[in-house]
Amino acid sequence: MKRKAGNAPQIEELLYQALETEIGGLNVYETAVSCAVNEDLKKEWLEYLEETRTHRRVLLTVFEQLGLDPERQPPGREVVRHIGESLVKAMKMAVAAGDPDAAQLVAAECVVLAETKDHANWTLIGVIADQQGGVEAKVLKQAYDAVVTDEEHHLYHTKGWSRELWIEALGFPAVLPPPEEVKQVESAIGASRAEQARDKMLGH
Ligand SMILES: [Fe+2]
Ligand SMILES: [Fe+2]
C-alpha cells in the first residue's frame, strides 16, 4: 500500500502542543496533589506526576531525534500553556474558598480536562506513527508505545475518581476507589464496562 505523506507543519504543531501539554501537566499535577483529600487519590496523582515527567523526557528525545527546537513557541503552544495555567488558577481559586472537599472535586475535573488533551495528543501521535513512513514514524511509534498505557490510566481512572467523588458529595453511595481503578481499565471500552459494573460493586 502506498502511504500518503502527512501534513508536515501540522505534525510539528501537534508535537509542540504535546510537549507543552506534558510541561503544563506537571504544574497541574503538583497543584492537584495538594488538593487531594483522599489518600488513594493522592498516591495515584503522585504516580501520574512522575509518569508525566517521563513523558516530557520521551518527547524531548523525539524532538532531538527529529531535529526540532524544543524552545520554539508556535502560537498553538501558547494556547495550550494558557489553558494549563488556567487550570492551575482554577484549583487555587477553589483552595482559597476554604472547602477542601470542594477543592478536591475541582482538582479532579481539572486533571480530567488536562488529560483529555494529553490523551488526544498521544492518540494522534499514534495515528501519525501508523500512517506516516520513514524515520519519523519509527521515532513516534517508539514514543507512543512507551506512553500510551499511562495515558489510558491518567484519563479513564481520573474520570472515575471525578464521577465517584461527585456522587459521594451528592450524598449517594459511591465506589471508592472507582471501578476503573479496581478493574485496571486501559481503554475506552474498559472504562465504559467498569462504569456499568458500579451497581454490582455497590451490591445492588
Ligand atoms: Fe502525558
Ligand atoms: Fe497524562
Q: In this predicted structure, what is the pLDDT of residue 204?
A: 73
Note down the domain range covering 103. Answer: 8-147
Q: Distance, CA 118 to ligand 1 centroid (Å)? A: 6
Q: Let me know if residue 78 belongs to a domain.
A: yes
Question: Which bound ligand lies closest to the C-alpha atom of 57?
Answer: 1
Q: Which distant-in-sequence residues (6+ apart) come within 8 Å of 133 by Cβ?
A: 3, 5
What is the value of pTM for the model shown? 0.94
Q: Let me know if residue 79 belongs to a domain.
A: yes
Lookup: cell for 67 = 531535529
Q: Let me know if residue 42 belongs to a domain.
A: yes
Domain count, the chain: 1
- What residues have their beta carbon closer than 5 A to ion ligand 2? 115, 118, 151, 154
Is residue 76 a contact partner of residue 46, using CB atoms and an 8 Å limit? Answer: no
Q: In this predicted structure, what is the pLDDT of residue 57?
A: 98
Q: What is the pLDDT along the chain (204 residues), one digit of tens a residue?
A: 556 789 999 999 999 999 999 999 999 999 999 999 999 999 999 999 999 999 999 999 999 999 999 999 999 999 999 999 999 999 999 999 999 999 999 999 999 999 999 999 999 999 999 999 899 999 999 999 999 999 999 999 999 999 999 999 999 999 999 999 888 888 888 999 999 999 889 987
Q: Let me know if residue 35 belongs to a domain.
A: yes
Read off the CATH number of the domain in which 106 is found. Answer: 1.20.1260.10
Q: Let me know if residue 196 belongs to a domain.
A: no
Q: Let me know if residue 192 belongs to a domain.
A: no
Q: Distance, CA 15 to ligand 2 centroid (Å)? A: 15
Q: In this predicted structure, what is the pLDDT of residue 1?
A: 52
Q: In this predicted structure, what is the pLDDT of residue 88?
A: 98
Is residue 152 a contact partner of residue 185, using CB atoms and an 8 Å limit? Answer: yes
Q: How far apart are CA 59 and CA 26, in angstroms?
A: 14
Q: Let me know if residue 38 belongs to a domain.
A: yes
Is residue 163 a contact partner of residue 194, using CB atoms and an 8 Å limit? Answer: no
Question: Which bound ligand lies closest to the C-alpha atom of 59?
Answer: 1
Tens of pLDDT, residues 58-91: 999 999 999 999 999 999 999 999 999 999 999 9
Q: Let me know if residue 171 belongs to a domain.
A: no
